[in-house]
């Protein structure tokens, strides 16, 4: 009883609303990171261990562009494009030659890329965290809290990017190429789809989306060379829980897990640092009871 009391001490409706908002904001960023990861996995069976570093690289690009141009929006766009191009170059040089080899080789390759990028960032930018100034510093009153507008902007922009990507996949010529290649690489080739380039493009899009999330999230945490680690771990959990390669599932899982974490950190008996355990609990439960993913239709 004491424990229960301690757990629910300080709970209130206000806090619930605030945490819901926080959960959605982190959930949208996480969904943006995870979308790229699941796209890359779905289309070329590559588990991209460098995804967190592309996120980090995006944030640093944002820092640099912001420092030179002073425009956050330009930083967001340029960082996305530049990291997208870097992603394309990485795919062509390290992953394309490995097509048809043991999947372990691609894991080692992307892991290698992640170490190189991390250490390059450390060498280039040093260990001190850089700051990205948010484009909006305004707040609005939410109960007893001054809630920053910028957080809502992040959620809205992430949703817009994901929505745009979704539309592109659904209606665009190249979106159909990506979906066809994801479903049947061999038949896609036989239909004249240049599959090697579709792989490159998918990797570039995934990298660009990671970079965009890095820039958007930068103002909340500060930018350093290991900022990708937490995110990529969580994004991996989301991708597995959502069903490997399933975009809609990943988005739903990202929001679910972030909300659960936000609610768990309300509990008096759990410190916010411990709340991250929630995502692992969801992961373990998913693997135990629904290993194909929570949000995929039950196979008939």
Residue 55's alpha-carbon distances to 119, 121, 231, 262, in angstroms, are 14, 12, 8, 22
For residue 189, state whether it binds another protein (rule: CB under 8 A): yes
Q: Distance (Å, rounded) from C-alpha 47 to C-alpha 36?
A: 11
Q: Cβ of residue 110: shortest distance to another protein, in angstroms?
A: 25
Complete DSSP assignment for 234-275:
HHHHHHHHH-TT-HHHHHHHHHHHHHHHHHHTTSTTS-GGGG
For residue 104, state whether it binds another protein (rule: CB under 8 A): no
C-beta of 121 vs 180, nearer to another protein: 180
For residue 194, state whether it binds another protein (rule: CB under 8 A): yes
Q: Cβ of residue 299: shortest distance to another protein, in angstroms?
A: 12
- CA atoms within 13 Å, Cβ hemisphere of 227: 29
User: Do the Cβ atoms of 193 and 209 come closer than 8 Å?
Assistant: no
Among 184, 272, 285, 297, binds another protein (CB under 8 A): 184
Q: Distance (Å, rounded) from C-alpha 298 to C-alpha 300?
A: 6
Question: What residues from 195 to 254 belong to the interface with another protein (CB under 8 A)?
Answer: 195-196
Residue 285's alpha-carbon distances to 49, 267, 290, in angstroms, are 23, 21, 8
Q: Cβ of residue 141: shortest distance to another protein, in angstroms?
A: 46
Among 3, 192, 289, 298, binds another protein (CB under 8 A): 192
Structure tokens at 171: 């209606």
Region from 56-64, 138-146, 184-192, 274-282 binding another protein, contact rule CB under 8 A: 184-192
For residue 173, state whether it binds another protein (rule: CB under 8 A): yes
Of the candidates 232, 243, 226, the one whose C-alpha atom is nearest the C-alpha of residue 286 is 243
For residue 178, state whether it binds another protein (rule: CB under 8 A): no
For residue 177, state whether it binds another protein (rule: CB under 8 A): yes
Q: Cβ of residue 97: shortest distance to another protein, in angstroms?
A: 15
For residue 96, state whether it binds another protein (rule: CB under 8 A): no
C-beta of 180 vs 212, nearer to another protein: 180
For residue 32, state whether it binds another protein (rule: CB under 8 A): no
Residue 223 pairs in a beta bridge with: 130
Residue 235's alpha-carbon distances to 7, 70, 96, 242, 258, in angstroms, are 28, 30, 24, 10, 11
Region from 71-79, 84-92, 174-182, 278-286 binding another protein, contact rule CB under 8 A: 174-182
Region from 6-14, 40-48, 189-197, 272-280 binding another protein, contact rule CB under 8 A: 189-197
Among 113, 188, 204, 278, binds another protein (CB under 8 A): 188
User: Do the Cβ atoms of 242 and 252 come closer than 8 Å?
Assistant: yes
User: Do the Cβ atoms of 183 and 245 come closer than 8 Å?
Assistant: no
C-beta of 186 vs 273, nearer to another protein: 186
For residue 176, state whether it binds another protein (rule: CB under 8 A): yes
Q: Cβ of residue 194: shortest distance to another protein, in angstroms?
A: 5
Q: Distance (Å, rounded) from C-alpha 196 to C-alpha 193?
A: 9
Q: Quick one: DSSP state of residue 202?
A: H
Region from 33-41, 85-93, 140-148, 187-195 binding another protein, contact rule CB under 8 A: 187-195
Helices 13-44, 173-183: inter-axial angle, 10-degree rounding: 70
For residue 263, state whether it binds another protein (rule: CB under 8 A): no
Catalog residues that contact another protein under the rule CB under 8 A: 173, 176-177, 179-180, 183-184, 186-196
């Amino acid at each position: 009883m004491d424990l229960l009391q301690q757990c629910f001490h300080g709970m209130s409706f206000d806090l619930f609303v605030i945490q819901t908002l926080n959960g959605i904001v982190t959930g949208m960023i996480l969904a943006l990171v995870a979308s790229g990861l699941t796209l890359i996995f779905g289309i070329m069976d590559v588990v991209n261990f460098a995804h967190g570093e592309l996120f980090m690289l995006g944030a640093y690009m944002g820092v640099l562009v912001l420092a030179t141009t002073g425009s956050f929006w330009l930083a967001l766009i340029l960082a996305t494009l530049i990291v997208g191009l870097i992603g394309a170059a990485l795919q062509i040089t390290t992953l394309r030659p490995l097509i048809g080899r043991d999947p372990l080789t691609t894991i080692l390759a992307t892991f290698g890329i992640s170490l190189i990028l991390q250490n390059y960032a450390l060498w280039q930018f040093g260990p001190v965290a850089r700051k990205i100034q948010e484009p909006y510093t305004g707040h609005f009153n939410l109960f007893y809290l001054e809630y920053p507008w910028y957080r809502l902007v992040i959620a809205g922009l992430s949703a817009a990017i994901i929505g745009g990507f979704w539309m592109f996949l659904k209606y665009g010529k190249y979106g159909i190429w990506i979906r066809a290649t994801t479903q049947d690489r061999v038949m896609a080739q036989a239909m004249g789809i240049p599959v090697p380039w579709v792989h490159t493009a998918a990797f570039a899009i995934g990298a660009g989306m990671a970079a965009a999330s890095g820039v958007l999230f930068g103002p909340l945490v500060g930018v350093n060379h290991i900022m990708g680690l937490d995110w990529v771990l969580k994004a991996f959990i989301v991708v597995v829980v959502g069903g490997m390669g399933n975009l809609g599932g990943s988005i739903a899982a990202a929001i679910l897990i972030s909300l659960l974490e936000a609610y768990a950190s309300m509990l008096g008996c759990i410190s916010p640092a411990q709340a991250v355990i929630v995502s692992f609990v969801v992961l373990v439960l998913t693997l135990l009871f629904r290993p194909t993913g929570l949000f995929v239709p039950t196979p008939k």
